[in-house]
Structure formats: C-alpha cells, structure tokens
Amino acid sequence: MTGVNESNTSVIEEVLISEDDIKRRVKELAEAIDRDYKGRSLFLLSILSGSFIFMADIVRALTIPVNVNFIFASSYGSSTVSSGDVKILDGKGFDPSGKDILIVEDIIDTGRTLYALREKLLNSGAKSVEICTFLDKPSRRVVSVDARYIGFDIPDKFAVGYGLDYNDMYRQFPFVGVLKPELYQN
Ligand code: IMP
Ligand code: MG
C-alpha cells in the first residue's frame, strides 16, 4: 500500500483509492475544467475543511486563471451520520452575484450540504453554479444534486484521507481508505 506508514496502517481497514490513481484523476478533472471554462472568469469555491487538499491539487493542475475562495460548511458534528442541519460560514464575505462559480467539495453523501449551498449561491445572484467533487457516494443520496465533475464513486463506507476526516483526524493520508469501524463505533 503506497503512502501507508506506521501512523496509519493501524487505523485503515482497506485502501479504496491509491495516491497514484488520485494524481491521475485530478489531472483529468483539471483538463476538463480548463476546457469548459476557457475564456470565462471562473470563481472556485472550496468547502472547508474536507476539500483543502483536493482544492490545492486542482488549482495547481489548472492552467486557466482562477479566483480562489473558501467557505466553511458542515452538517456532521462529530458523528459519521449527516445531521441534515447544514451550517454555512463565510468568513470573508464571498459575493456570488454575477459570477461563474465552481464549488469544490470533498464528498457528496446525502447531498444536503451541496443542495443548500447551491440554492444559497443562486438566490444571491450567481450567474452559474457547478460542482466538482472528489468523491461521490451515490447510494446514500437523500437530496438530488448534479455534480459536473466527479473524481470517484465510492461504496457506502466511511472514508478518510486526502482531506477527509473523522473528528478532524486522518486528513493527512495521501490515499483514501476505510477507517476501521471499531474506531468510531463506540
Ligand atoms: P452531505 O451533506 O450528506 O452530502 O455531506 C457531505 C459532507 O459530509 C462532506 O463534505 C464530508 O465532510 C462529510 N462526509 C460524508 N461522507 C463522509 C465520509 O465517508 N468520510 C468523511 N466525511 C464524510
Ligand atoms: Mg466537508
């Protein structure tokens, strides 16, 4: 297992996506975004904290000029089941009006976070709002959300690594893995 070392072998049950596969896919996604937004003024909006690593890799793989922005959104608290209560915190006061926005997210699970955020941006006058998600768990969807760019579909397992966390831990792993259930089941 590439990228697996003493600090993570003990908590990872299975590697879902390797570091090499992530690198290849990020490059492909960036090429598609480059093509689709060429000649337009693109505003990237990264949802913290989970997308920080994906965002950093995507922006460096893009060749078109982009405006880089961050907001906080959370629906989880410290559990592994979505609460459905989505909180959006915008520290710097991002003004969506008239902008072509591409939301960069770590994972779509129930779809609640992105549904709420997309509505909020469109209601505030955004010109367009598309979604680029690193992971998708389609089997878990409660609210319908269309992502234009999807890195990988994954099964209904709790994933960590490449920015994804459990209680803000394990974000540092360069791969995506499934956390051993005994680490969050009690
Ligand atoms: P949704 O609103 O249910 O779609 O939840 C999306 C958010 O839940 C993501 O941005 C993640 O922060 C978190 N999340 C969902 N599934 C996982 C997972 O498997 N591992 C870590 N975080 C997850
Ligand atoms: Mg998140």
Which pLDDT belongs to residue 183? 86
What is the pLDDT averaged over residues 96-113?
96
CA of 179 to the centre of ligand 2 (A): 17
Please state whether the predicted TM-score (pTM) of the whole model is above 0.85. Answer: yes
Digit-coded pLDDT (tens) for 47-88 = 999 999 999 999 999 999 999 999 998 765 555 655 556 777
Residues in contact with ligand 1 (CB, 6 Å cut-off): 50, 75-76, 82, 105-113, 158-160, 164-165
CA of 3 to the centre of ligand 1 (A): 23
Which pLDDT belongs to residue 81? 57
Q: Residue 112 CA: which ligand 1 atom is closest?
A: 2
Express as a percent the part of the chain with pLDDT over 70: 88
Contact indicator for 110, 142 with CB cutoff of 8 Å: yes
